[in-house]
């Protein structure tokens, strides 16, 4: 699971959970894969992201690097910044671990890169 | 369904798509071809802005065949599926997209405004079944559509290809989609054919009013003709009044070609030689 997906994920499918955002990350195996860099896509997706949440997530798996914690104003034209954002968003992949619902503490296991969000009948 | 019984009647999706069934999606070239055609048509119907890389949700992504089409066109996607075996195949195929193992009837686990569009190939009809004791199809459909609506950008589209079992199932699905706030409707490709006929539910989430794209194999002229009866004061010849032209005649051949064209089949163009007898052998 990539961090771009984590930034969008919410556990609000559980009964009684209002926001369910952001999900905590407990990673046991993190891999870095090279992905083609597309500056237009990164520039377009950044306004949709919750930047502080992304930094928090990257920090919790120890891959923050030198990513600025505040979103800079001219990110669209700053290629170096876009490259860093691309690396964090698309190239870092949590292979094994858990995501944790912030409200109920329910764990969603990640195994082989696949996130398990299947709920039990009593949680729907 | 060439094999007779519909898969929805055999077992719930998480059991039906077992290891053996999942393997078919990598080894059977016919299944792969159909899936690719369907996904390409679904992406075409999404009408995404050209030359723009979008973030797409693939509902019922399975082994990632539809995702591959998305990757080819330069989009980034996230897939959701209920069959673990199919997802394992997707990992083996080294899909670019992220995979989530979950049940669409339990909702779409994303925050509001996440995606630029959503596609689904042959998955939605599974929601019409009550496979577990607690399942209530209209409720699950409503939950699915309302959370899908929330997870899409305003003005984004969702194109869902489906195989409804009958018209009441289709009505149930569209009814719940409209209740969740979607506008749009059904696009039917090759409506005159039983086999090539494909249904796509095109849903718009807010934004300006948009027109539905026409389905393939539906000629506008033909549709006009069928709505109006041509006025003629001459009596038709007795031969035509009886209905079909005699078998193997030129008219019969032309009519048959026309019918097969409407079904979206490969038909040779008409020429002066059409329906002409072969010369006697020397």
Residues of B in contact with A38 (CB under 8 A): 53, 74
SS3 A105: coil
Is B155 in the A-facing interface, judged by CB distances under 8 Å?
no
Residue A122 covered by a domain: no
The band of B239, judged by pLDDT with boundaries at 50, 70 and 90, is low
Residue A62 covered by a domain: yes
The band of B257, judged by pLDDT with boundaries at 50, 70 and 90, is very high
Residue A123 covered by a domain: no
CB contact under 8 A, A40 and B82: no
Q: What pLDDT sits at residue B212?
A: 83
Residue B189 tokens read as 């490709």
Sign of the CA dihedral running B247, B250, B252, B254? positive
Q: Which domains does chain B have, with CATH numbers?
A: 3-244 (3.40.50.150), 250-282 (no CATH)
Question: Chains A and B: how many Cβ contacts under 8 Å?
Answer: 81
* DSSP H or E run through B189: strand B183-189
Q: What pLDDT sits at residue B242?
A: 64
Q: Is the pLDDT of residue B73 over 70?
A: yes
Residues of A in contact with B147 (CB under 8 A): 13
Q: What pLDDT sits at residue B224?
A: 47
Q: What is the pLDDT of residues B17-65, one digit of tens each?
A: 988 888 888 888 998 999 999 999 999 999 888 888 999 999 999 999 9
The band of B227, judged by pLDDT with boundaries at 50, 70 and 90, is low
Residue A121 covered by a domain: no
Q: What pLDDT sits at residue A123?
A: 86
Residue A58 covered by a domain: yes
CATH number at residue A112: 2.20.25.10
Instruction: Find the domain containing A31 and state its range.
Output: 3-116
A103 close to A13: Cβ distance less than 8 angstroms? no
Residues 6+ apart with CB under 8 A from A62: A30
Question: Cα-flanking dihedrals φ and ψ of residue B188, to 5°?
Answer: -115, 120
Biggest CA-to-CA distance, chain A = 49
Alpha carbon B114 to its chain centroid, in Å, reads 24
Residues 6+ apart with CB under 8 A from B124: B59, B60, B160, B162, B173, B201
Residue A112 covered by a domain: yes
Cα separation, B137 vs B42, whole angstroms: 24
* Total residues found in chain B within this entry: 282
Average pLDDT over residues B137-146: 94
Residue B216 tokens read as 């393939």
Q: What is the pLDDT of residues B175-186, one digit of tens each?
A: 999 999 999 999
The band of B236, judged by pLDDT with boundaries at 50, 70 and 90, is low
The band of B79, judged by pLDDT with boundaries at 50, 70 and 90, is very high
Stretches where chain A sits below pLDDT 50 are none
pTM score, two decimals? Answer: 0.82
The band of B240, judged by pLDDT with boundaries at 50, 70 and 90, is low
Residues of A in contact with B96 (CB under 8 A): 35
Instruction: Tell me whether residue B55 is exposed, middle or buried, using C-beta atoms within 10 angstroms of its C-beta: 0 to 12, 13 to 18, 19 or more.
Output: buried
Residues of B in contact with A20 (CB under 8 A): 109
Mean pLDDT of chain B: 87
A39: nearest CA in chain B? B53
Total domain count for chain A?
A: 1
B96 close to B108: Cβ distance less than 8 angstroms? no
């Amino acid at each position: 699971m990539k961090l771009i997906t984590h930034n969008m994920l919410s556990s609000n499918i559980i009964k009684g959970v209002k926001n369910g955002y952001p999900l905590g990350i407990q990673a046991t195996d993190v891999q870095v894969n090279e992905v083609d860099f597309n500056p237009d896509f990164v520039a377009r997706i950044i306004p949709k992201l919750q930047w502080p949440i992304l930094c928090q997530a990257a920090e919790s798996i120890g891959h923050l690097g030198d990513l600025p914690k505040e979103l800079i104003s001219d990110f669209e034209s700053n290629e170096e910044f876009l490259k860093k954002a691309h690396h964090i968003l698309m190239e870092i992949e949590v292979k094994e671990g858990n995501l944790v619902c912030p409200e109920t503490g329910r764990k969603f296991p990640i195994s082989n890169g696949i996130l398990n969000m299947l709920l039990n009948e009593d949680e729907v | 369904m060439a094999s007779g019984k519909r898969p929805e009647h055999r077992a719930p999706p998480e059991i039906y798509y077992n290891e053996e069934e999942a393997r078919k999606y990598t080894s059977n070239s016919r299944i792969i071809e159909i899936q690719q055609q369907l996904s390409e048509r679904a992406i075409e119907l999404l009408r995404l802005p050209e030359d723009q890389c979008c973030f797409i949700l693939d509902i019922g992504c399975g082994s990632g065949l539809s995702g591959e089409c998305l990757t080819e066109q330069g989009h980034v996607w996230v897939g959701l599926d209920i069959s673990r075996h199919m997802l394992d195949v997707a990992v083996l195929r080294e899909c670019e997209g992220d995979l989530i193992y979950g049940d669409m009837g339990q909702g779409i686990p994303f925050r509001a405004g996440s995606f630029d569009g959503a596609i689904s190939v042959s998955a939605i009809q599974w929601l019409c079944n009550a496979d577990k004791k607690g399942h209530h199809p209209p409720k699950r459909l409503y939950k699915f559509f309302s959370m899908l609506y929330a997870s899409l950008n305003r003005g984004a589209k969702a194109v869902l290809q489906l195989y409804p079992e009958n018209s009441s199932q289709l009505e149930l699905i569209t009814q719940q989609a409209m209740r969740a706030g979607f506008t749009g409707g059904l696009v039917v490709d090759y409506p005159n054919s039983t086999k090539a006929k494909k249904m796509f539910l095109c849903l718009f989430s807010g934004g300006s009013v948009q027109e539905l794209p026409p389905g393939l194999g539906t000629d506008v002229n033909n549709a006009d003709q069928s709505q109006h009866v041509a006025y003629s004061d001459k009596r038709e010849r007795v031969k035509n009044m009886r209905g079909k032209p005699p078998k193997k005649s030129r008219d019969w051949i032309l009519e048959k070609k026309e019918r097969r064209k409407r079904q979206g089949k490969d038909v040779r163009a008409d020429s002066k030689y059409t329906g002409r007898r072969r010369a006697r052998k020397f």
